[in-house]
Amino acid sequence: MPKTTIKVIVLLLLLLPFANSQDMENAYGIGTSFGLTVPRTDIKGSIESPIGRAFIRYYPSSAIGIEFGAGIGTLEAKKDTQFFTSTIYPFDVRFVFQPLKIKSVTPYFYAGAGLLSFNPKDSTGKKLPRNARGDYKLLTSFYPLGVGATVNLSKSTTLGLAGTYNLTSTKFLEDIKTDVRDAYWSFTVELFAFLKEQNPDLDGDGLLNDEERQLKTDPLNPDTDGDGLKDGEEVHTYKTDPLNKDTDGDGLTDGEEVLIYHTNPLNKDTDGDGLTDGDEVLNYKTDPLKPDTDGDGLKDGDEVLKHKTNPLKIDTDGDGLGDGDEVLKYLTNPLQIDTDGDGLTDGDEVLKHKTLPLKPDTDDGGMPDGKEVQLGLNPLDPTDDVPTIKIGERIILEGVNFETAKTTLLPEAKQILDQVAVSLSSNSTTEVAIHGHTDNVGGAKYNMNLSSGRAESVKAYLVSKGIDAKRITTKGYGFTKPIDDNTTAEGRAKNRRIEFVRVK
């Protein structure tokens, strides 16, 4: 391609980014073009020559135009001793097609037919031999076929670039007879003016100038509010405000909502979880399209605003229960591992031990669930509880009985004392006194010795279970401290007892 032609193309390509599409239906106007010709004849040494053209164009629709034009130009070529020059006068009709718009550029292509007057001469201006003899007619038909693109210079004028291949019906453009039809290229710059005022989309945003004027958007800026969406997309597709980058006021721009997060730019809380889309994305890192990001059964909004739990963590306090289960099912505190303070996590109570996470002593036996589990006791069975005794407090060990008139422990008494031993082992600093009591059957001395012996028997059993003897003192009271009437069998049974007193 000739160097001058390349320069023209480069110039117009630099202008293309400023191109804008138009609403051209029923529009018409006049134009002119100028440029260069490059002949394609039997003389191969083409010489770039000027050409100009004037035309009238009418658009029955925005995609189709009909053009009538007339021009004047020169064709020249020189190769060795061969030379020709000819002034040409093309008259043609063209159909222009512009079916699409690429961003802000309006490309088009065209095809047509017309008549071409030519007159080949030599370098001195004399007609070449066959021309001089009249061997052929100096008027031929030709068929232009080309492509181009336009940009808007103003509301009513456009600048374009076109390249046209013109195939003629003659073989004598250069006065040489061959079996091949001659042709020529033309590369032109086009200036076109609409005679009927147009309503262009100068910034290529999908809104015509009249629409932009009504909406008060910038007709030269495709994204007036700078939110990442074209003004036309905001108005026609998303129904957002092209003058407000955050239409719903949720902290995300309309462009971020549509293009990045796929949230609704008209609804500040797309997933309806109680948090705005902006808070979810920017502050809490939750999913604005998912009401319960961590899947724990609580909406993100309830977690953040109501329960103060972590909407990204199923089990905020790490107790083994999901936040939703704690709040909705078990009514426990999702921020506290051990809601009832019994020494067991809420999760262990519910999932492992089947105890009540809101009740420290599920079986009401006097010992917290956690202590029972620690001692190997059943937190659901009140009969195995060993109550915690305060200093100075007395407790009667029900069931610690002996053989009649003896200090020998019965088997069931040993089972209870086993629990006492466990309790004393887990509280290594505790010291206790064991007091023996009897009823009034028999003499005072006999019963005093019997009560002392039974207290010592209990101590001996506890020592056999690993309890330091120094932590236990004993004393017998005989029948001197009855707690019931010794005149009845029931009263005497209650008076025969072993009491524990915590002394330290």
Give all domains of the chain, ordered by start, each with its CATH number: 3-194 (2.40.160.20), 386-502 (3.30.1330.60)
One-letter identity of residue 258: V
Q: Quick one: three-class SS letters along 460-488?
A: HHHHHCCCCHHHEEEEECCCCCCCCCCCC
Secondary structure class of 210 (helix, strand, coil) = helix
At 199 the pLDDT is 65
Section 347-365 average pLDDT: 89
Q: In terms of C-beta distances under 8 Å and separation of at least 24 residues, what long-range contacts does 163-167 make, across chains too?
A: 163/187, 163/188, 164/188, 166/90, 166/116, 166/142, 167/142, 167/143
At 3 the pLDDT is 52
Section 124-131 average pLDDT: 96
Task: State how far the Cα of 413 lies from the Cα of 430, in Å rounded to an integer.
Answer: 22
Task: State how far the Cα of 28 lies from the Cα of 22, in Å rounded to an integer.
Answer: 12
Report whether pLDDT(169) > 80: yes
At 143 the pLDDT is 98
CA angle, 87 as apex, 85 and 92 as ends, to 5°? Answer: 135
Section 95-116 average pLDDT: 89
Task: State how far the Cα of 371 lies from the Cα of 357, in Å rounded to an integer.
Answer: 14
Section 30-38 average pLDDT: 97
Alpha helices in 216-347 (DSSP H): 231-232, 254-255, 277-278, 300-301, 323-324, 346-347
Give residues with Cβ within 8 angstroms of 412, minimum separation 6.
399, 401
Task: State how far the Cα of 495 lies from the Cα of 484, in Å rounded to an integer.
Answer: 6
Least confident of 44-53, 110-119, 378-387: 378-387
Q: Are 69 and 92 in contact (CB under 8 A)?
A: yes
Task: State how far the Cα of 416 lies from the Cα of 251, in Å rounded to an integer.
Answer: 67
pTM: 0.51
At 99 the pLDDT is 85
Report whether pLDDT(422) > 50: yes
pLDDT digit string (tens) for 475-503? 999 999 999 999 998 988 898 999 999 88
Least confident of 97-101, 228-232, 318-322, 347-351: 97-101
Among 217, 10, 221, 201, residue whose Cα is nearest residue 106? 201
Report whether pLDDT(441) > 60: yes
From residue 497, alpha-carbon distances to 392, 415, 431, 463 in Å are 18, 16, 20, 20
At 413 the pLDDT is 87
Beta strands 64-79 and 46-47, pairing class: antiparallel
